[in-house]
Amino acid sequence: MLPTENLGFLLHHLSTTLDRQSDELLQQRLQIGFSQFKIMLALESKEGVTQKEIARKLGQTEASVSRQIKLMQHMRLLTSTVNPDNRRERYVVLTTEGAQVLREATTLLNKQFARMFDQLSKAQQQGLYYALTALDNSINPTIY
């Protein structure tokens, strides 16, 4: 079997391509990267998430998340405060501006993905969604 005929390889290739295209679009339109978008997404539904929790959710190192958070603080997209009970722990919260950028980024990415998925019928899209969700839940039970 050729690598291109392997479902795992195809999913990985598609994911890498989508990451790159998403990063380029977000950089061009909103001056944020896809990694920064994912951090904001991890913060969207929960108030005061720790850097450690974000790193775990995204499968990244705390150091890489910390670097992104510092950049995003300078951009006024989020705030980071020290936990008074554990000075080594920091809580991260989206700012109003960060929430607005997240909404704009989500809209941009949804439009980009819609063009790609329009090639599939609604039934195919729904089947793909359920299949990918099942796979994702089996390896990442609590991503977002």
Q: Are 67 and 61 contacting, i.e. CB atoms less than 8 angstroms apart? A: no
107-115: long-range contacts, CB 8 A cutoff, minimum separation 24? 108/25, 108/26, 108/29, 108/30, 109/22, 109/25, 109/26, 109/37, 112/21, 112/22, 112/25, 113/18
**pTM across the whole model:** 0.84
Q: Which residue has the tokens 């390896």?
A: 139
Q: Are strands 86-94 and 49-50 parallel, antiparallel or unpaired?
A: antiparallel
Please state the domain extents for the chain: 24-139
Helices (H), the chain: 7-30, 34-44, 51-58, 62-74, 96-117, 122-139
pLDDT by 10s per residue, the chain, length 144 = 666 678 889 899 999 999 999 999 999 999 999 999 999 999 987 778 999 999 998 889 999 999 999 999 999 999 998 888 888 888 999 999 999 999 999 999 999 999 999 999 999 999 999 999 998 888 876 544
Yes or no: domain 24-139 corresponds to CATH 1.10.10.10: yes
